[in-house]
Structure 1
């Protein structure tokens, strides 16, 4: 869908597991190495997903990318051990729990910066999302936006830096930030609706 993907792994044979239809680039090397990240063209990346099987390594790589490549808008790290989640959160990184979310969730996060998770409860069964209201949705009511999306509720509406609890009749304006709480299915339904409204 217009995205160029680069996969980094320290073992060449790992790339054999990629789908036969994969058309991206592969880079062999240690993900913590500046040379490897340079060969992966991290300086031009919009998003990075860090999915090693070590929570500590994921945190360090994610933090390193954020420090050395400030242009990267989305840095997402995979969390294997729930006991390590607090450590990942301390780095201020976007976290995806391997048990609750998986690859589809990472793809969604990387491809849509206007709709992003800001808080996760439990193992990610319920998350809070922020979405930025574009000109196209100016004048729409909160209830119209969320209608038909299932398990989703509006939590806050921020306008010019001031937040309030929105009623379902609250009218959205361009530049507003609407915060919603949703299950995975509710968020997916809203994301699909937003994509339809954009087109």
Structure 2
């Protein structure tokens, strides 16, 4: 995949490094050339200095024909402008923006632009959204018995109880992130489109998790 990342702060550098290590072609944009020092030694991608919402800069970064664009700078306005330019002007299908203001995040999610906030799982969600298929595991205990996973709400489960989904997966629901706000679900919490579900599961069940979720709820 060819991915353009705007912003080389902690999240942007981590995202770029992870995508590069996985063999993807990565271009990182930042208005401050010194920010590229956050990238690991041996980073194989390309860096471009400039404003990430400037069309000339985006063109130089190779956004034409790119598979995905992530706007993860430190400014909400810059991120959302760049995300809209990437989608509306360059026609990039997978566009995601980092938004600090939860209220704004809700608005842009409804406009069809997925967002992440400043919570620790931001990089994980970005990688999963861009590459569609990487591991959902956020943490494992030292004995590899229990895993904490974070996954985007499967469409087959929208409108059904979060606890039911977790139970069918063999574990428990730890939290739900919705429009940038994380909360502990109760028995009445239903899965909504664009939720991020945090589940505590037996590690042995993680491998078959995607297939189980795609099959939808069991009648049992």
Q: TM-score, normalised by structure 1?
A: 0.60
Aligned to 1:37: 58
DSSP 3-state at the match of 1:42: coil
Give the secondary structure class of the aligned counterpart of 2:25: coil
Q: Is the 8 A contact 1:6 1:25 kept in 2?
A: yes
2:124 counterpart of 1:104: yes
Question: Deviation of residue 22 (structure 1)?
Answer: 1.8
CA deviations on 1:146-190 (whole Å, 9 max, x unpaired) are: 6446549xxxxxxxxxxxxxxxxxxxxxxxxxx897623469x88
Which stretch of the first structure deviates more once superposed, 104-113 or 46-55? 104-113
What runs of 5+ residues in structure 2 fail to find an aligned partner?
A: 1-21, 135-149, 157-164, 175-192, 213-220
SS of the equivalent of 1:93 reads coil
**Closer, same or farther: CA 126–193 of 1 in aligned 2, 3 Å:** closer
Q: Is the 8 A contact 2:169 2:209 kept in 1?
A: no
- Measure how far apart 1:62 and its partner are: 0.5
TM-score (norm: length of structure 2): 0.55
Q: Which residue of 1 aligns with 2:42?
A: 21
Answer whether contact 1:80 1:99 (CA < 8 A) is retained.
no
| Structure 2 residue matching 1:7: 3-state secondary structure | strand
Quote the offset at 1:195 in angstroms. 7.6
Question: Which among 77, 82, 100 is matched to residue 97 of structure 2?
Answer: 77
Deviations 1:128-156 (A, max 9, x none): 2348xxxxxxxxxxx9xx6446549xxxx
Q: 1:19 to 1:195 in 2, by over 3 A?
A: farther
Q: How many residues align?
A: 146
Q: Is the 2:71–2:98 Cα contact (8 Å) retained in structure 1?
A: yes
Structure-2 separation of matches of 1:79 and 1:20 = 28
Q: What whole-Å deviation, never above 9, does each CA across 1:93-124 have from its counterpart, x for those lacking one?
A: 0111222522121011100179xxxxxxxxxx
Ranked by relative contact order (alpha carbons within 8 Å, sequence separation 6 or more), the top structure is: 2
Deviations 1:31-89 (A, max 9, x none): 1111111111111211111011111221111111101122x221010121223223423
Cα RMSD of the aligned pairs, angstroms, is 3.5
Please give the alpha-carbon distance, in whole angstroms, between the structure 2 residues aligned to 1:102 and 1:181: 13
